[in-house]
Amino acid sequence: MVALRGRVSASDISPSLFSRISLTTLLARAGLDRLLAAPKCDRISSASSCSSSLPPPASRRRPRAGKSTRPSHRRGSSGTNVATVALAVAASLLVLLLLYLCAAIAVRRFRSRGAVAREPAAAGGSSSAASRAAVFLRRHGLHHHRPSFTYEQLRAATAGFDAARKLGDGGFGTVFLAYLPPSGRPAAVKRLHVPPSPSPSFPSTSATITKSFCNEVLILSALRHPHLVRLHGFCADPRALLLVYDFVPNGTLSHHLHRRVGGPGAAPPPPPLPWRTRLAMAAQIASALEYLHFGVKPAVVHRDVTSSNIFVEADMRARLGDFGLSRLLAPPDACATGGARELVCCTAPQGTPGYLDPDYHRSFQLTEKSDVYSFGVVVLELVTGLRPVDVGRERRDVTLADWVVAKIQVGELREVVDPPVLGEGPAVMASVEAVAELAFRCVAPDKDDRPDAREVLAELKRIQTMLPELPGLKIS
C-alpha cells in the first residue's frame, strides 16, 4: 500500500477509487490492529467482549474424551520413572530375601554344630555307638558278609544276658554263653560295655568301644586259622553292640596257669598243665601269629596277646581271640626312620600292662615285633606259672619279663620254673631251658633284636622234637 502511494498522486485518483482504497486500507488496518490488540484485549475492552471474541486459554479448555491433557513427551518420561521405581523395589526385596536366607542357613548350621557337640550328653551312648558302627559296616561292605543276628535273638539265646550264663569279662565287654537258634548250637556272645550316657568330659569312651567292635568285625571277617577264634556274626543295635564267636568251653590259658581259687562254693581250680601241653600251646599260638604277620595282606598286629585272650578247647588246644585292639599294618610311611623295610603303624600305645612292648611305648611305632614281645611274656608265664604283673615283688621285679630275664642272666632259671614242671624230672628240663632262652630273645628291649613269628614257630617245633614221643598223642 505504501508503494502504491509512492507511484500515484492524490490528484490523479478519482474520488470513487479513492474511497474504495481508503475503505480497503481502513478495513485492513482495522483487522491488523485487532490482531495486534488480541492478547491485550482485557485492557482495551470489557471482559465479556474479550472472552466472546477470543478462544479460551489452554488451561481452561476441556479435554476431549479418550485423550490425555498431558503432552506426549511427559507421558514417556513418567512411564520410565515408574519402571525404574519398580525395578529398585524388586531389587531391594531380592537383597532382603538373600540376606534372610543367609541368616537362616547360618543359624541352622550353628544349631546343628551345637547339637553334635551335645550329642554324647543328650543321646544314649549305645544308640550313637550303634549308628557309628552301622555306618562303618556299610562303608566297608561288611553288613552282609556274616549272618547278622537281631538283638531279640541274642537276648533270648543268652536268657536275657543272665549272670548265670556269664563266661568272663573280655576286652571292653562281658562274654555270655548262648544257644543259637534254630539248632541250639552253643556260642559265645560278647556284649560291649557302651556307657548309657557318656559324660561330655570323657566323650572318647563310646568311640573307643565302637572302634573295638568295628575292628573285630573288619579283621576277623577275613581270617581263617584253626588257632584263631572265629567270628560267627554280630549285632549293631541301639540297645547293645554284640559279637558272636565260637564257644571255647575250657576257659582261658590264664585260668589254667594261675589256678585262681574262688570263694566258697566256687568250682575247684583246674589241675596244673603238663609241660608237653604248655609247649604245644606255645607252638599253636606262634602258628596263629605267623599267619597274622605273614599269611594275610595287609598284615595284622593283634596288639593284645595275653594269657587271658588265649582260649582253651576241651582237647587242650589253644586259640587266640579278642581282636578289639588289633590293627592292619601299612607300608613304611613318614613316621618310619632309617632304611627299615618292615611294616609299621604310627599309633598311640595300647595293650595290657606287663605285655606292652617297651619299644612301641617309646617310639609309638607299632610293628609285628610288638606281638612277638607280648608272646614272649606269655611263654614266660608258661615256664613259671606266674602272673605278668605282681606288685608284691620288688619294684624292679614287678613285671615278669624283667624279673625272669634277670634270673636267666645270672643262671638262676630253675628258681622261677613252675614247681609242677620241675616235678616232671630232668627229662623235660632241656626243653624248658630252650623255651626260656627263646622267650628271653622275644622280650628283648630293642625290637630289632627279637625274632619274627616265623622264626619263633620254627624254633618251637624244633624244641618239641626234644621231648620223647608219646603213643597216640598229637602234638599240634
231 forms beta bridges with 245
Q: Please classify residue 466 by burial: count the beta carbons closer than 10 Å to its beta carbon, then call 0-12 exposed, 13-18 middle and 19+ buried.
A: middle
SS3 of residue 453 by DSSP:
helix
Most distant CA atoms of the chain, gap in Å: 188
- Closest residue by Cα to residue 278 from 249, 322, 316: 316
- Closest residue by Cα to residue 439 from 397, 383, 379: 379
Radius of gyration of the chain (CA): 52
Q: Rounded to whole angstroms, how far apart are CA atoms 219 and 288?
A: 14
SS3 of residue 332 by DSSP:
coil
Is there a contact between 308 and 389 (Cβ–Cβ < 8 Å)?
Answer: no
Q: Rounded to whole angstroms, how far apart are CA atoms 130 and 196?
A: 12
- Closest residue by Cα to residue 441 from 429, 431, 455, 423: 455
460's grid cell: 618251637
Is there a contact between 369 and 450 (Cβ–Cβ < 8 Å)?
Answer: yes
Q: Rounded to whole angstroms, how far apart are CA atoms 102 and 98?
A: 6
Length of the chain: 476
12, 169, 246, 304: the active-site residue: 304
Query: Would you give the end-to-end CA distance of the chain in angstroms?
Result: 154
Q: Rounded to whole angstroms, how far apart are CA atoms 243 and 235?
A: 7
Decide if 304 is catalytic. Answer: yes
Catalytic residue numbers? 304
